[in-house]
Amino acid sequence: MKIFKFTQEVANQINNYQSMNSFYTKITKTVEPTNIGFIYIEPGGVVGMHEAPVPQLFIVIQGEGWVCGEDKEKEMIKTGDGVLWQKGEAHESGSNSGLTALVIQSEQINLA
């Protein structure tokens, strides 16, 4: 499991197109077919321990929660944090207060 930041602080300013006060963060460029969706974890909810069928990028877009691997050591995550699990990596996620995450799954994920 690897944790990334996707907040404005790590974004690049957009200077083209007469842009002002705008920033962009590239998440990934895909070559292989890719599934993109949302996971909603309600307060007290858990997505139980399972192996990633393909590499999975889990980006919290609202709320906060936790993730862990087989060692069951929880790492706290919040809005703007992203977690990358490799194919076959067992993991679990949950939240005490609720969270929404954007999930990108593909045989090949190349982070910027």
Q: Does the pLDDT of residue 28 top 80, yes or no? A: no
pLDDT score recorded for residue 51: 95
Confidence of residue 112 (pLDDT cuts 50, 70, 90): low
Instruction: Tell me the CB-side half-sphere exposure of residue 50, using CA atoms within 13 A.
Output: 10
Q: What is the pLDDT of residue 75?
A: 96
pLDDT at 57: 95
Nearest to residue 109, comparing CAs of 81, 87, 80? 87
Distances (CA, A) of 107 to 31, 33, 48, 81: 9, 8, 22, 21
Spell out the domains of the chain, with CATH numbers in brackets.
Answer: 2-111 (2.60.120.10)
Predicted pLDDT at 105: 93
**Angle, alpha carbons 20-82-25 (nearest 5°):** 20
Q: What is the distance between the alpha carbons of residues 36 and 57, in angstroms, rounded to a whole number?
A: 10
Per-residue pLDDT tens digits for 72-93: 999 999 999 999 999 999 999 9
Segment 30-58, tens digit of pLDDT: 888 899 989 999 999 999 999 999 999 99
